[in-house]
């Protein structure tokens, strides 16, 4: 289930460099300010979990040991309880005031049974009155069109490797909605080209709404971005916020 960009240390070393957005962090930090405990499902390298742990009791769950190795070493990592587990099946035996699944982690679950399993995990871990939030890209925007080699080529500043040329390539299966994309890093000085494939799903809002209802989760807000704008058909993101029904 864990794609190589998240399980191979040679690729994981680029994750934080390529994922430095703040809007989702700021929104989640604000949402968590009144909660005493946070479960970060799909916590990755632990950037958000470690930041939240300054004020909350935080548990971070991820299936990729290479990502958790980075999480444990980061500043503030010692304040977080890290759990190597699958979001579909993990059961921690306790409930939380806030359950997060950010960074588009929901999209790595490709089938309806897997997506339903993750939503049940969220429901099982919500305390009375607790809230959940997660994000997924809006398929109507077709963001994958920007992931061609020509449009995605970029120069990545790595602290020890120097300037690394990076690019993506992509295929979209119109029948299933699954997007298969590759990520490549060309190490300077005659080094290797690192690369791996990933697959992600792009569920529509109406599809998500049905599954959330079946999982016993009630959506209170649908956001269309991390600035807090309401969802509309052209929004880049689909971000449900709600509670256990």
pLDDT at position 91: 98
**Do 42 and 64 form a contact (C-beta atoms < 8 A)?**
no
Residue 182: closest CA among 9, 11, 10: 11
pLDDT at position 4: 84
Is residue 242 over pLDDT 80? yes
| Alpha-carbon gap, residue 74 to 182, rounded angstroms | 27
Residue 17: closest CA among 178, 157, 213: 157
| Alpha-carbon gap, residue 242 to 218, rounded angstroms | 5
| Alpha-carbon gap, residue 179 to 202, rounded angstroms | 8
What tokens does 198 get? 């990933």
| Alpha-carbon gap, residue 62 to 40, rounded angstroms | 9
User: Average pLDDT over the chain, rounded to whole?
Assistant: 96
**How large is the average pLDDT for residues 194-201?**
95
- DSSP assignment string, 136-165: EE-GGG-GGGG-SHHHH-EEEEETTTEEEE
Burial 34-60 (b: 16+ CB within 10 A, else e): ebebbbbbbbbbbbbbbbbbeebbbbb
Summarize pLDDT for 129-155 with one digit per residue, the tens.
Answer: 999 999 999 999 999 999 999 999 999
Summarize pLDDT for 14-66 with one digit per residue, the tens.
Answer: 999 999 878 999 999 999 987 789 999 999 999 999 999 999 999 999 999 99
Summarize pLDDT for 60-117 with one digit per residue, the tens.
Answer: 999 999 999 999 999 999 999 999 999 999 999 999 999 999 999 999 999 999 999 9
pLDDT at position 22: 86
| Alpha-carbon gap, residue 148 to 153, rounded angstroms | 8
Is residue 1 over pLDDT 60? no
Summarize pLDDT for 52-67 with one digit per residue, the tens.
Answer: 999 999 999 999 999 9
Residue 166: other Cβ atoms inside 10 A = 19
Question: Is residue 2 very low, low, confident or very high in pLDDT (cuts 50, 70, 90)?
Answer: low
pTM (predicted TM-score):
0.95
| Alpha-carbon gap, residue 84 to 61, rounded angstroms | 6
- Side-chain-side CA neighbours of 124 within 13 Å: the count stands at 15
Is residue 225 over pLDDT 90? yes
| Alpha-carbon gap, residue 199 to 5, rounded angstroms | 11
């Amino acid at each position: 289930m864990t794609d190589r960009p998240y399980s191979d240390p040679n690729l994981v070393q680029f994750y934080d460099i390529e994922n430095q957005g703040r809007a989702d962090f700021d929104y989640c930090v604000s949402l968590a300010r009144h909660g005493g405990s946070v479960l970060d499902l799909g916590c990755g390298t632990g950037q958000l979990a470690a930041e939240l742990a300054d004020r909350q009791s935080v548990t971070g769950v991820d299936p990729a040991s290479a990502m958790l190795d980075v999480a444990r070493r980061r500043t503030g990592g010692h304040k977080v309880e890290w759990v190597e587990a699958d979001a579909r099946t993990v059961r921690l035996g306790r409930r939380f005031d806030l359950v997060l699944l950010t960074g588009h982690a929901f999209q790595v679950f490709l089938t309806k049974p897997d997506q339903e399993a993750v939503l049940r995990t969220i429901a099982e871990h919500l305390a009375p009155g607790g809230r959940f939030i997660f994000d997924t890209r809006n398929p109507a925007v077709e963001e994958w069109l920007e992931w061609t080699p020509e449009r995605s080529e970029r120069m990545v500043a790595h602290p020890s490797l120097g300037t690394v040329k990076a690019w993506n390539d992509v295929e979209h299966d119109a029948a299933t909605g699954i997007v298969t994309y590759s990520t490549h890093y060309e190490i300077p000085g005659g080094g290797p080209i690192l690369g791996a494939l990933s697959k992600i799903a792009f569920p529509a809002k109406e599809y998500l709404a049905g599954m959330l209802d079946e999982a016993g989760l009630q959506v209170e807000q649908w956001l269309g971005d991390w600035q807090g704008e309401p969802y509309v058909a052209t929004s880049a993101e689909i971000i449900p916020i709600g509670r256990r029904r």
